[in-house]
Amino acid sequence: MMKPVLRIDGRGACAVSGFPMLDLPKAAWNGGMLVTTLVLAGPYFTWGAFTLFITVTYTSLLIGHSVGMHRLMIHRTFDCPKFLERALIYVGVLVGVSGPSGIIAVHDVRDWAQREPRCHDFFAHNKPLPMDLLWQLAFRFRFERPPTVDIEPHFANDPFYRFLDRTWRWHQLPLAALFYAFGGWPWVVWGVCARVIVSAAGHWTITHFCHNPGDGRWSVRNASVQASNLRGMGLLTYGECWHNNHHAFPESARIGLEPGQTDPAWRLIRLFECSGLVRNVGHPRARHEREDLIDAPPYDFVAH
């Protein structure tokens, strides 16, 4: 069984006290990608560029964000050789949201806040979607009493990941050069600018709906935010939409736990496991280890 990774020390911290404040680098990055897309996507539209956009957006989010950054780097739901770990996380960096440490910090602080008895609207995602998107794409939360984030040495001391933390935005440039060589400016506009802003906005849109009332059979004891499953969205979201399951079993590499809950990222992990590249795959913990869950059904999941 994979052990949960604890990076947050919330002693003395408060998940309510504070306020969202403008984050100029984040706002400039996402705002620049948005404005460029709105101005140039139409004039530079070609079917080849649009096909590139769809293909690279989906595969980078599937391979890099869902498998690499979320299920491997953040939750450590499986182990793999260093070369594969770095490759998966690098693809996650190419998504264009943040570097490895930034992704870990944003995720873990949010997860900590949501599991507190009360948390600010910034973390609860209960404002209307336009306001929530504005906050997530252009603001950061300034705590009055912040928690401490302690990223484990495996990532914090790795020179490759530290390099990616310093340079993550610049890695769009070689990608842009490659796209320009094959498809000119249409491929750059759609393959970089449109892809980055749609990836970021799409991520936070799914996050918004997954943390508002909806379908789900699990409740996490004393948590101020209970996650929802989004029916019919498994293929589009790589399996991340089964978020009620994920809040209950963050140690599981598989998020689509029930029949009919499509989980493409899990299928990729299983492919790696069958090829011998992945081991120690995490599954939902047994009944007697679910004291933190309310009204948990009396059965164990069967991995497949």
CA 54 to chain centre: 19
Contact 123, 141 (CB under 8 A): yes
Distance CA 223, CA 135 (A): 22
Cα angle, residue 74 at apex, residues 290 and 122 outer, rounded to 5°: 85
Check whether 66 has a pLDDT greater than 90. Answer: yes
Per-residue pLDDT averaged across 217-233, rounded?
94
Check whether 302 has a pLDDT greater than 90. Answer: no
Q: Which amino acid is at 225?
A: V
Contact 244, 261 (CB under 8 A): no
Helix (H, G, I), strand (E, B) or coil at 122: helix
Give the whole-number percent of the chain exceeding pLDDT 70: 95
Quick one: which of 229, 236, 264, 253 has its CA closest to 301? 253
**Element at 142 (helix H, strand E):** strand 139-143
Quick one: which of 272, 274, 256 has its CA closest to 264? 256
| pLDDT for the residue 236 | 96
Distance CA 112, CA 135 (A): 18
| Burial environment of residue 262 by CB neighbours within 10 A (0 to 12, 13 to 18, 19 or more) | middle
pLDDT band at 298 (very low <50, low <70, confident <90, very high): very low
Tokens of 29: 């990055």
Per-residue pLDDT tens over the stretch 16-50: 999 999 999 999 999 999 999 999 999 999 999 99
| CA 49, 52, 58, 61 torsion-angle sign | negative
Quick one: which of 214, 26, 59 has its CA closest to 136? 26
Q: What are the residues facing 279 on neighbouring strands?
A: 79
| pLDDT for the residue 304 | 40
Beta-sheet strands, E only, within 14-114: 18-22
Distance CA 44, CA 35 (A): 14
Region of 59 please: left (phi>0), alpha (psi -120 to 50) or beta.
alpha
- Please, what is the angle between helix 195-210 and helix 129-138, to 10°? 130
DSSP string, 164-194: HHHHGGGGHHHHHHHHHHHHHHHHHIIIIII
34-46 b/e (C-beta count within 10 Å ≥ 16 → b): bebbeebbeebee
| pLDDT for the residue 288 | 87
Per-residue pLDDT tens over the stretch 160-181: 999 999 999 999 999 999 999 9
pTM over 0.85: yes
Distance CA 26, CA 69 (A): 19
| CA 132, 137, 139, 143 torsion-angle sign | positive
Contact 187, 179 (CB under 8 A): yes
Per-residue pLDDT tens over the stretch 125-173: 999 999 999 999 999 999 999 999 999 999 999 999 999 999 999 999 9
